[in-house]
Amino acid sequence: MAQANLTGAIAAPQQSFPHPEKWEWYHYFTFNIDHKVIGIQYLVMAFIFYLVGGCMALAMRTELATPQSDFLDPNLYNALMTNHGTIMIFLWIVPAAIGGFGNFLVPLMIGARDMAFPKLNALAFWVTVPSGALIVGSFFFGGAQAGWTSYPPLSAITANTAQSMWILAIVLAGTSSILGALNFIVTIWKMRVPSMGWNDMPLFCWAIMATAVLALVSTPVLAAGLILLLFDINFGTSFFDPSRGGDVVMYQHLFWFYSHPAVYLMILPVFGIMSEVIPVHARKPIFGYKAIAYSSVAICFVGLFVWVHHMFTSGTPPWMRMFFTISTLIVAVPTGVKIFSWVATLWAGKIRYTSAMLFAIGLLAMFVFGGLTGVTMGTAPVDIHVHDTYYVVGHFHYVLFGGSVFGLYAGLYHWYPKITGRMLNEPLGIVHFVLTFIGTNLTFFPMHQLGLKGMPRRVAMYDPQFHSINLLCTIGAFILGISVLPFLINAIWSWSQGPKAPDNPWDAKTLEWTTESPPIIENWEVLPELTEGPYAYGEEPAEVPSS
Amino acid sequence: MQGSINPASEPTVAVEEHHHEGHPDLRVLGLLTFLCSEFLMFAGFFVLFLVYRSQAGAWPPEETEVELLLPTINTIILVSSSFVIHFGDKAVKRGDIAGLRKWYWITAEMGVIFLIGQVYEYMTLGYGLQTNLFSNCFYLMTGFHGLHVFIGLLLILGVLWRSRREGHYGAHHHVGVEMAEIYWHFVDVVWIVLFAIIYLLTLL
């Protein structure tokens, strides 16, 4: 009965949410409840913050070109280092991958006219705007300087006002995450077109479902920890003050209970993007649909029990080190399942080397490397050696830049025609890819060597013996900075001047390609019906859903 | 123009009904999902409290003992209010709006009494938020819970406000009533855990 009612609601949506015929540009700056508008709002806002965070990184790399502190004030360096991490995580990758692609694609992929709670959805976006404003504003008070982890006692004694603003910004971003997550869970669970079962869903939706569950259970714990820190800083409590009975390690537990899953919040949606991009451009059915789908769920579950591997040097007892080493290594199994499934999908496919596909293949190479260094560090003995060195920085930039950002670029190239109704320029895309690939490896690969040689991270000055390798990283960083330009020019120019995109430029099988480019308001005149699986390439041609 | 696309504008009764008929259980499901998240936030505080308790020599320390009589009375009031609010829910499902209003009023009054009791307890304890680690935890956790009671109270008052309108709630459209009730039960369950670990554990 619920199902019948639901279909009724879908058939007559205009009654509940009156929309105009067409969105004008200024509608994109308002409290708009259309999931596609919200998706674009997230993507554009996140990309702007990506540029801001990127400029911060370039400033830091310029400082690190020489061993002395000669370009930035060391306190400013600390503030840039802290907020570079914060912005890239909370205002770029998470909002772009979950808020941007999730909102734009999930209702289109499951054949819904919108998310389950459109107003809540808009609210979740607009909560991130003050969050970004607080981060930017904190620089007028010196900027938070305790690293994105904000461990007390450092965070409790430096730049109190800026640190408090930072905490509020993260709590706001977390609130947005939670509201978004519950919306995704209910939408994917209840709003699929009646002909779509769980195992007919595109893998991106599986990934978003797993991500949403993870965000839902882990984010509130971070909020709890941060509220306690806020009280310690401003209201004279002593939760994390050992001189008055508190315990700094408890903060680390609360923090990492969220922040390790946050790694999966940043990579699982990107894995979902991979599972869409690879079969379309390899012209082959995805290898191991269920294995990929359920491995997302497995990562989500196991990912909740690995957080202490960030704390092997925090006086962690041996049994805990043992337990969390093992659980950490177990995460490599479902991740490996995905990687091998994508490789098997590529195997003997008729691969089209589009920009989207190049970034997807780039991700495969880089993420495997980042994953392997992750496994080495997941074992306590190695971790204790490389803890807080540049090895860690190299590792997580391979998974977050070589992984998440490459995946976001792949998604942008793949869905840009659907989002804007225009095609991107492919040669510029290839230039973008080549520069990004060279820049990424040149910047982050040498960091592993720096780390193994003992260069500590988060410092503006270093021993002169590390000079030449650091210079190499800095050159790479500038190539990476320049690599954004072809994309930016391409995206802005094509949005108004690019060739018009057909409904289904890549001959893909998922539902978002059955509507117009860009999709009409309410997505379809008549809701599509599933006639074949999402990845039925090269199989017996069934009747193509009418477009 | 703005009014036509801005969903935040006052929804009409017809829209409410339509939305409800559209997907009767989604909003309740959304709330339950949200409460899972909320519960984990409290769980974070509970775990923190228990760890600190296990690490401390005397917990609560000498000068910051807790009082037991008033919180026990408060617990009885809050737990029974969960039954009272359920009568209201049953009433609206029979289409008995007067019954709904009566039971929700009683619930709201019990909630107010609980909050007054809480504030009275704060004022008579003789120690404050900053006294020591135990009092930090005590005030933060009970205060945070009190905030949730307050929000629940606002939801109940919202239901009462809306129920003045003829036909706003009925035997077949009462999602708002149900959501306020679920939230209230949640606040109640959290209190029971909180009462057990903050107050009852001191008896051991």
Determine the pLDDT at residue A545: 52
Interatomic CA distance for residues A353 and B146, integer angstroms: 59
**A248 part of contact set with chain B, CB < 8 Å:** no
User: CB B25 to CB A246 under 8 A?
Assistant: no
Chain A nearest-CA distance from B106, in A, is 31
pLDDT band for position A541 (cuts 50, 70, 90): low
The secondary structure element, H or E, covering residue B99 is helix B97-124
User: CB B48 to CB A221 under 8 A?
Assistant: no
**B55: nearest CA in chain A?**
A245
Q: How many CB pairs under 8 A join A and B?
A: 133
Determine the pLDDT at residue B58: 85
Contact A276, A204 (CB under 8 A): yes
Instruction: Judge whether residue B2 has pLDDT over 50.
Output: no
- Listed by number, the residues of chain A in 118-137 with a beta carbon closer than 8 Å to a beta carbon of chain B are 118-120, 122
**A10: nearest CA in chain B?**
B22
Instruction: Judge whether residue A11 has pLDDT over 80.
Output: no
**A34: nearest CA in chain B?**
B5
pLDDT in tens, A278-290: 999 999 999 999 9
Residue A343 lies in a domain: yes
Determine the pLDDT at residue B193: 97
Partnered with residue A456 across adjacent β-strands are: A389
Nearest by CB to residue A239, choosing from B18, B40, B136, is B136
Determine the pLDDT at residue A176: 96
Question: Which residues in chain B are contacts of A19 at CB distance < 8 A?
Answer: 5
Domain that holds residue A54: 32-514
Instruction: Judge whether residue A546 has pLDDT over 60.
Output: no
Question: Which residues in chain A are contacts of B130 at CB distance < 8 A?
Answer: 235-238
DSSP states along A382-420: HHHHHTTBHHHHHHHHHHIIIIIIHHHHHHHHHHHHHHH
Interatomic CA distance for residues B48 and A329, integer angstroms: 27
Q: What's the number of domains chain A is made of? A: 1
Residue A132 lies in a domain: yes
**A183 part of contact set with chain B, CB < 8 Å:** yes
Nearest by CB to residue A118, choosing from B7, B27, B137, is B7
**B33: nearest CA in chain A?**
A182
Pull the structure tokens for residue A499.
Answer: 């060739």
Instruction: Judge whether residue B179 has pLDDT over 60.
Output: yes
Instruction: Judge whether residue B149 has pLDDT over 90.
Output: yes
**A8 part of contact set with chain B, CB < 8 Å:** yes
Question: Phi and psi for A500 in degrees, rounded to 5?
Answer: -60, 140
Residue to test with chain B: of A14, A126, A178, most B Cβ within 10 A: A178
Interatomic CA distance for residues A255 and A239, integer angstroms: 14
Contact B78, B94 (CB under 8 A): no
Contact A389, A452 (CB under 8 A): yes
Question: Phi and psi for B170 in degrees, rounded to 5?
Answer: -155, -175
Nearest by CB to residue A247, choosing from B36, B38, B52, is B52
**Average pLDDT, integer, range A73-77:** 94
Nearest by CB to residue A237, choosing from B40, B42, B130, is B130
Chain B nearest-CA distance from A135, in A, is 24
User: CB B5 to CB A221 under 8 A?
Assistant: no
Determine the pLDDT at residue B19: 40
pLDDT band for position A110 (cuts 50, 70, 90): very high
Contact A190, B9 (CB under 8 A): no
pLDDT band for position A531 (cuts 50, 70, 90): confident
ipTM: 0.89
- Listed by number, the residues of chain A in 152-181 with a beta carbon closer than 8 Å to a beta carbon of chain B are 178-179, 181
What's the one-letter identity of residue A498? G
Residue A422 lies in a domain: yes
Interatomic CA distance for residues B200 and B204, integer angstroms: 8
Interatomic CA distance for residues A30 and B194, integer angstroms: 42
Residue A26 lies in a domain: no
- Mean pLDDT for chain A overall: 92
Nearest by CB to residue B22, choosing from A8, A118, A179, is A8
Residue to test with chain B: of A6, A7, A14, A16, most B Cβ within 10 A: A16
Chain B nearest-CA distance from A236, in A, is 6
Residue A255 lies in a domain: yes
Instruction: Judge whether residue A8 has pLDDT over 50.
Output: no
**Average pLDDT, integer, range B149-169:** 94
**A234 part of contact set with chain B, CB < 8 Å:** no
Question: Which residues in chain B are contacts of A237 at CB distance < 8 A?
Answer: 129-130, 136, 140
pLDDT in tens, A234-275: 999 999 999 998 999 999 999 999 999 999 999 999 999 999
**A237 part of contact set with chain B, CB < 8 Å:** yes
pLDDT band for position B159 (cuts 50, 70, 90): very high
**A228 part of contact set with chain B, CB < 8 Å:** yes
Chain B nearest-CA distance from A467, in A, is 44
- Listed by number, the residues of chain A in 43-72 with a beta carbon closer than 8 Å to a beta carbon of chain B are none
User: CB A246 to CB B132 under 8 A?
Assistant: no
Cis peptide before A534 (omega within 30 of 0): no
Residue A137 lies in a domain: yes
Interatomic CA distance for residues B80 and A155, integer angstroms: 44
pLDDT band for position B4 (cuts 50, 70, 90): very low
Determine the pLDDT at residue B187: 96
**What domains appear along chain B, each with residue ranges and CATH number?**
25-203 (1.20.120.80)
pLDDT in tens, A15-62: 456 678 788 888 899 899 999 999 999 999 999 999 999 999 999 999
pLDDT in tens, A326-352: 999 999 999 999 999 999 999 999 999
Of A352-361, A464-473, B158-167, give the lowest mean pLDDT range: B158-167
User: CB A18 to CB B4 under 8 A?
Assistant: yes
Domain of A268, CATH number, reads 1.20.210.10
pLDDT in tens, B65-91: 888 999 999 999 999 999 999 999 999
Residues 6 or more apart in contact with residue B128 via CB below 8 angstroms: B135, B139
Determine the pLDDT at residue A543: 53
- Mean pLDDT for chain B overall: 87
pLDDT band for position A7 (cuts 50, 70, 90): very low
Residue A194 lies in a domain: yes
Instruction: Judge whether residue A133 has pLDDT over 80.
Output: yes
pLDDT in tens, B94-127: 999 999 999 999 999 999 999 999 999 999 998 9
pLDDT in tens, A414-446: 999 999 999 999 999 999 999 999 999 999 999
Contact B155, B104 (CB under 8 A): no
Determine the pLDDT at residue A6: 39
Question: Which residues in chain A are contacts of B12 at CB distance < 8 A?
Answer: none
Residue A542 lies in a domain: no
Chain B nearest-CA distance from A330, in A, is 24
Residue to test with chain A: of B2, B16, B41, most A Cβ within 10 A: B41
**Average pLDDT, integer, range A52-75:** 95
**A283 part of contact set with chain B, CB < 8 Å:** no
Contact A448, A385 (CB under 8 A): no
